[in-house]
């Protein structure tokens, strides 16, 4: 069974540009999460989808970030326009049930560098 995949693995962009990150969860997982780790800081929750609906977006930093999950399969996270402080590693995770014994399966992350 394929794990959570993320694309791209790395992205280097200039301040003011737009970047779109993609996450493909494990097949059949209704729950999809986005997290971010800024260098030197802890991994922080951004938002949670249940199928195509946003269940919790309390961690989204501002309105430059837009997450979608059309059709309840893969998800995209768009940053527009990107700022220097957006640099970090963006992780996606998925789980089968709303709370399946806490098992969220993580992808390898996308490393974003904004210059």
Partner 1 sequence: AQSVTQLDSQVPVFEEAPVELRCNYSSSVSVYLFWYVQYPNQGLQLLLKYLSGSTLVKGINGFEAEFNKSQTSFHLRKPSVHISDTAEYFCAVSARGGTALIFGKGTTLSVSS
Q: Are 19 and 115 in contact (CB under 8 A)?
A: no
Q: Which of residues 31-50 bind partner 1 (CB under 8 A)?
A: 31, 33, 35, 40-45, 48
Residue 56's contacts (CB-CB under 8 Å, 6 or more residues apart) are 47, 48
Residue 56 within binding range of partner 1, rule CB under 8 A:
yes
Residue 88 within binding range of partner 1, rule CB under 8 A:
no
Q: Are 50 and 28 in contact (CB under 8 A)?
A: no
Which residue in the set 21, 23, 104, 114 belongs to the binding site for partner 1 (CB under 8 A)?
104
Of 100, 46, 99, which is closest to residue 76 (Cα–Cα)? 46
Q: Which is nearer to partner 1, 13 or 50 (CB)?
A: 50
Name the residues that contact partner 1, by CB under 8 A. Answer: 3-4, 31, 33, 35, 40-45, 48, 55-56, 58-59, 91, 93, 98-99, 101-109
């Amino acid at each position: 069974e394929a794990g959570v995949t993320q694309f791209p693995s790395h992205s280097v962009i200039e301040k003011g540009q737009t970047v779109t990150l993609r996450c493909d969860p494990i097949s059949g997982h209704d729950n999809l999460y986005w997290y971010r780790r800024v260098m030197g800081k802890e991994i922080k929750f951004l938002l949670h989808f249940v199928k195509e609906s946003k269940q919790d977006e309390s961690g989204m930093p501002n309105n430059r970030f837009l997450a979608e999950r059309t059709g309840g399969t893969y998800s995209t996270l768009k940053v527009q326009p990107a700022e220097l402080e957006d640099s970090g590693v963006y992780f996606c995770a998925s789980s089968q049930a709303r709370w399946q014994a806490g098992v969220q399966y993580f992808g390898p992350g996308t490393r974003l560098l904004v210059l």
